[in-house]
Amino acid sequence: MSVLLRAASLLIGSLGVLSATLFHGEELQNPVRPATAANPNYERLLDLARSLPPEFAADGLLRVAPLAYPNNPRRRASVIREAFGLAWNAQDPYKTRLAPRAALDSLSGLHERAGRANLDRLSLQRRAIAALLTIDRRGAAELARAVRVPELHTGECDSPTPDVSAAYEIVSDVSKGVPTARDRQVLLDGPSRIIISPIQVGPIAKMLSAAVTNEELAYLTTVSFSQGLKICPRDPGAFFATLYETSRALEDLLRRCGTRGVPNTELVKAIREYYLRQINGERCPDSTAGGIDSVAADFNRFRLDLAFPHEASVPAIKQADYESKPSNSTSTPASVKLDVWQSEGAGQMMTAVRQLRFAEHSAPEWPGRVADFSAKLDNWSAGNEPLRIFVHEKCALYSTLMDQVGEQDRARLARTMLDFLQSNFLSEYPQEWFMHVGKAFDVLRQARQEPAPFRFRDPVVSFYWELSKLKLLGAAQSCHFTRAYLFRLVSNSLRIRLYSSAQLLG
C-alpha cells in the first residue's frame, strides 16, 4: 500500500471509532411523521435518475429525494445511501486544479471549470453525507467511514493538481455532530498529522476551524497540524498550484487562534519550516525568483500581524535563508499546450465568427450573414479532430453566436446545440459535456419556450429538463434544486464563451 493510500486510510479511519461508539443506538434525529405519498412526478424522476450514468444518477437522486419524501426521513435516507453507492462509479475520482502554466482555454482548463459542478466521486459522496447528517448522524458517520481518497499523482510542475478538499470537508461535517470535545479532538487529530503533499495543507487548515473549544484548537494547531507541516515533503508543483488558497487558509487559522487567545507560536514556526522546504532548491518553470520572494514576504506578514504571542524565537524569512534555482526543463508539457482551436477547420470557423462579431448588426445584409454562418456551423463536422476538442469548439461558437442574435434565433440555436450534444455524448468527460447543456437550458428558459416539437433523445438532458420544468411550475418544497445548479453550470459555460470572445478580440 502506498504512502498516499495509507494517509487516506488514516484520514477517514478515525471515523470508524466514532461511528461505532458515539452514534451507537442513535435513531433518526427527526421523528418519523406519517408517510406521505410522494408526488408521482418525482417518483418517475427517481426512476429516470437511476437509469443515468453514475455521476448524474447520484446527483439526480440527491436532488429529488427531499422533494419526493419531504415528510419521510427514512425513505429519504434510503435514497441518499443509494446515491452514495452510485457515486463510487463516477468517471472523475476528484476535482483537479489547473496547472500554473496551463492556458485557461486548454482542455485541462475546461475540465477544471466543468468540475465545479461537483459531479466527481468525492464531491458527490460529501454531498450525500452532508444530506444524511441532517436526519441520521450515525448513518452519515458510517458512510464517511467508507470514503477513500483515491491515489494521488503529484510531484510534476505542469500536471493538473488533485483537489481532495471534499475529504476533509467530510471530516469537518461529521465532527460538528460529535458531542464531546475529547472525541472531536480524536477525530480531527489523525487527518491533521498525516500530510504527504502540499495539496492537503489548505483543506486541513480549513477543517481545523471546526474545533469548538480553545483546548481543541490549541492541541490541534500546536501539536497535530504543526507536526504534519514538518513532515510534508517538498513538491514545488503542488505547492505553487495551491499557494493562494493555502496562504489564505493559514492566515484565517492564525487569525482565529489570535482572536480566541490561543497561542500559535509553534504553528508559525512550523509554517516557516514548511515554506522554506518548498522554496529551496529547483523551482518550477513558471515560478520566478520574484514569486519565490513573495512567499517569504507572505510569511513575514503572518509573523508580524498574526503570531500570538509574538516571540523573537520565530525569525523572519530572509533571502539568505533559501536558494532557489530555475528549472533546467525547456519543454512544454502536454498539459499546458493550447489544444483547442488548432485545426484548420476550427481556425476558419473562428475567423468567420470574428468577422460576424464586428459586422454592423443593423445593416440590411446582417440577417443573411447570420443565417449563412449558422448553416455553416450546423454542418461543420469534426473531420480528423478529436471529438472532445470538437465538442468544446462547436459549443463555444454556438454560445458566441447566441450573444449576437435576437431571442427567437437564440432559442433556435440553443435547440440545435442541444441536438448536437445529444448526438455527441462525451462518455469519458461527462462533466465537460454537461457544462454546455447548462448553457442551452438557460437560453431556452430565458426565452420561455418549450422545446416541443424538439425531443430530448438523451436521458440525461431529458431528466434535468423535466426537473427544471417541475420547479418552474411551482414545486412547493424547499430544497437545493437543480435550477441553482444549472445556473452554476451556466456560469461555467459562460467562461468558455468569454474565452471565445477573447480569441475573437485577438
Task: Inform me whether the pLDDT recorded for 24 exceeds 50.
Answer: no
Show the CA angle centred on residue 480, arms to residues 477 and 485, nearest 5°.
130
Across 178-182, average pLDDT: 84
* pLDDT value of position 500: 44
pLDDT band at 87 (very low <50, low <70, confident <90, very high): very high
Of the ranges 73-87, 205-219, 290-304, 439-453, which one carries the lowest mean pLDDT score?
A: 439-453
Burial of 58 (0-12, 13-18, 19+ CB in 10 A): buried
β-pairing verdict for 281-282 and 324-325:
parallel
- The pLDDT score that the predictor gives to residue 327 is 64
pLDDT at position 157 is: 72
Higher per-residue pLDDT: 162 or 3: 162
Residue 169 has pLDDT above 80, yes or no: yes
* Ordered DSSP codes for 237-262: HHHHHSHHHHHHHHHHHHHHHHHTT-
User: Would the pLDDT of 350 be above 70?
Assistant: yes
Residue 226 burial (10 A CB sphere; 0-12, 13-18, 19+): buried
**pLDDT reported for residue 37:** 46
Residue 137 CA, distance from chain mean position: 25
- Other beta carbons within 10 angstroms of residue 3's beta carbon come to 12
In this predicted model, what pLDDT tens digit does every residue of 390-440 receive, in sequence order?
Answer: 999 999 999 999 998 988 899 999 999 999 999 999 999 999 999 999 999
What would you report as the CA-atom Rg of the chain, rounded to the nearest whole angstrom?
Answer: 26
Residue 128 confidence (pLDDT): 97
Q: Which residues contact 59 (CB under 8 A, 6 or more apart)?
A: 83, 119, 124
Averaged pLDDT score across all residues of the chain: 81
Helix, strand, coil percentages in the chain from 3-state DSSP, rounded to 5: 65, 0, 35
**pLDDT(499) > 90:** no
Gap between the Cα atoms of 468 and 411, Å rounded: 17
pLDDT tops 70 at residue 18:
no
Mean pLDDT lowest among 17-21, 114-118, 291-295, 428-432: 17-21
User: Each residue of 274-326: pLDDT tens digit?
Assistant: 999 999 887 776 665 567 888 888 888 888 887 767 656 788 898 888 887 76
Q: Give the E-state strand segments of 245-347 in sequence order.
A: 281-282, 324-325
Residue 176 in this model has a pLDDT that exceeds 80: yes
pLDDT at 80 (0 to 100): 97
Beta strands in 433-484 (DSSP E): none
Please check the confidence at residue 493 and state whether its pLDDT lies above 70.
no
Identify the CA nearest to 37 among candidates 84, 71, 87. Answer: 71
Task: Give the least confident one: 142-151, 223-232, 357-366, 367-376.
Answer: 142-151
State mean pLDDT over 96-109: 76
- pLDDT of 12 reads 52
* Dist. CA 464–CA 469, nearest whole Å: 8
Mean pLDDT of 214-219: 88
Q: Backbone phi, then psi, for 101, in 5-degree steps? A: -90, -5
The residues that bridge with 162 in the sheet, in sequence order, are 96
Q: What is the pLDDT of residue 466?
A: 87
**Does 250 have pLDDT greater than 90?**
yes
In this predicted structure, what is the pLDDT of residue 312? 63
Q: Which residue has the higher pLDDT, 286 or 42?
A: 42
Phi-psi region of 364 (alpha: psi -120 to 50; beta: other; left: phi over 0): alpha
Q: Which amino acid is at 389?
A: I
Confirm if 141 and 173 have CB atoms less than 8 A apart.
no
Please provide the DSSP assignment of 136-174 as one string: -HHHHHHHHHH--PPPP----TTSPEEE-HHHHHHHHHH
Closest among 146, 24, 5 to 84, alpha carbons compared: 146
d(CA 125, CA 92): 12
- Residue 44 CA to chain centroid, in angstroms? 29
How close are the terminal C-alpha atoms of the chain, in Å?
50
- Predicted local distance difference test score (pLDDT) of residue 322: 85
- What is the mean pLDDT of the segment spanning 447-463? 74
* Greatest mean pLDDT range, 193-202, 289-298, 462-471: 193-202
Q: Is residue 210's pLDDT more than 50? A: yes
Beta bridge mates, 161:
97
Q: What percent of the chain lies above the pLDDT cut of 90? A: 41
179 within 8 A of 132, measured Cβ to Cβ: no
